[in-house]
Amino acid sequence: MAVTQFNPTCSKTHLHSSQLPFLSRTLPRHRHCTIAPLHRTQQARICCSVAPNEVQVPAVKTSDPKSKPECYGVFCLTYDLRAEEETRSWKKLINIAVSGAAGMIANHLLFKLASGEVFGPDQPIALKLLGSERSIQALEGVAMELEDSLFPLLREVSIGIDPYEVFQDAEWALLIGAKPRGPGMERADLLDINGQIYAAQGRALNAVASRNVKVIVVGNPCNTNALICLKNAPNIPAKNFHALTRLDENRAKCQLALKAGVFYDKVSNVTIWGNHSTTQVPDFLNARIDGLPVKEVVKDQKWLEEEFTEKVQKRGGALIQKWGRSSAASTSVSIVDAIRSLVTPTPEGDWFSSGVYSDGNPYGIAEGIVFSMPCRSKGDGDYELVKDVIFDDYLQQRIAKV
């Protein structure tokens, strides 16, 4: 049976930022949730949705008070799960940092991460949520909802507005936070403001994240932001940075499936070449439907070159017109897909698209940029570029125009 430990002396506590790294350490096989808004320049404040006097459970004093960070309310509870059959085989806790954590994309994503559907049912996680001064209240609300969801794999939640503290020891950094584009804007219009955010976050990752952190840049324009981020993080391999083009791949698969009258899962080998922008090239030459080249199933070259391509390129804008804001749920699903593609082996013969650093690519694409290309993974978080793709004049010319 689980032992519940509670430190009744905890109260609303102020911590100095030097104490905060301690908050993110969690003993193996203990479930421990801490919500700690972190701020580099001000004193950090521990908060949660439950006041200490509202905790009614029988409490057991922690034998070694130093073994637990200061906290109060429900986050002071530690469940000793060592005896539990299920948790004994769990993997070591991983730290996942998410920026823009109070936004709509994150609101979909965080609950998927915490449920285990992304990293697996035996992978406990700590969520480190980065917001802004303006969003800190909302971020507390997010943390409260995570708390209310009773996710067994979610051991720890910390929230803050300083990337140097939130990114501490991060093994995954999902960088969503950015100004979104509105109706009538192009993603490139966001470069000035979002470029600065990603430069700062790159520096923070470089200083405090795990040396092998995997970074997925979602905020637009994501290819350029990913490049800015990696250039500001010289101590982290450039190969570890990704710009999210999986959403475009998913959109392309959907359109091909619709046209061919097949279900999505029959569509494979779809590459998005280039940027997550209207210049991207959804590759129907190498794509397959039910194992056959798309062109053998969809015998309508004009549709493929014009309607299909444009629909995928402009899908984000079309959604903004409908919603009055940019896509959120499907973006979060594509982040999940992008991570899962890196942590599970790619099915034989297939691949996935990701915006990655172009150095050493076998396709003749300019070096030193972030460009979406076909990748395969062994499931170890890393990837390699796929070599056996074919090019025709049309594809080559379109890629050259990106």
The residue ranges that bind ligand LMR (CB under 6 A) are 181, 187, 220, 247, 316-317, 319, 326-327, 331
Measured in degrees and rounded to the nearest 5, phi and psi for residue 269 equal 55, 35
Minimum distance between the CB of residue 238 and ligand LMR, rounded to whole angstroms? 23
List all residues 6 or more positions away from 99 whose beta carbon is below 8 Å from its beta carbon.
130, 163, 166, 173, 174, 175, 176, 177, 201, 219
User: Is residue 217 within 8 Å of 194, Cβ to Cβ?
Assistant: no
Min CB(351)–ligand LMR separation in Å: 21
**Structural tokens at position 360:** 């050493």
Distance CA 165, CA 209 (A): 9
Residue number, 7 or 250, with CB nearest to ligand LMR: 250
d(CA 348, CA 350) in angstroms, rounded, equals: 6
Q: Which two tokens stand for residue 254?
A: 């959907």
d(CA 400, CA 252): 20
For ligand LMR, the closer of residues 247 and 375 by Cβ is 247
Q: What span, in angstroms and rounded, lies between the C-alpha atoms of 52 and 7?
A: 10
Q: How near is the Cβ of 221 to ligand LMR at its closest, in Å?
A: 9
* Shortest spacing between CB 316 and ligand LMR, in angstroms: 2
Query: Closest approach of Cβ 82 to ligand LMR, in Å?
Result: 44
Q: Which two tokens stand for residue 59?
A: 């409490």
HSE-up (13 A, CA, CB side) for residue 370: 28
Q: Which is nearer to ligand LMR, 190 or 389 (CB)?
A: 190
Indicate the residue whose CB is closest to ligand LMR: 316
Based on CB atoms, which residue is closest to ligand LMR, 268 or 331?
331
Nearer to ligand LMR, 130 or 247 (CB): 247
Question: Which residues sit opposite 95 in a β-bridge?
Answer: 126
396's tokens: 């080559």
Closer CB to ligand LMR, 94 or 319, in the complex = 319
Phi and psi of 356, rounded to 5°?
-130, 165
Closer to ligand LMR at the Cβ: 103 or 202?
103
CA terminus-to-terminus distance, the chain = 59
Name the residue type at position 174.
L
Fill in the DSSP letter of residue 38. Answer: B
| Shortest separation between residue 220's beta carbon and ligand LMR, angstroms | 5
39 flagged as catalytic? no
Active-site annotation holder among 30, 32, 242, 276:
276
Tokens encoding 384: 């390699």
Contact between 177 and 101 (Cβ < 8 Å): yes
For the chain, how are helix, strand and coil distributed in percent, rounded to 5? 40, 20, 45
Smallest separation, CB 105 to ligand LMR (Å): 9
Q: Could you give the CA distance from residue 402 to residue 387 in angstroms, rounded to a whole number? A: 20
**Six token digits for residue 240:** 């570890």
- Of 290, 300, 39, the C-alpha closest to 159 is 39
Residues annotated catalytic, as ranges: 276
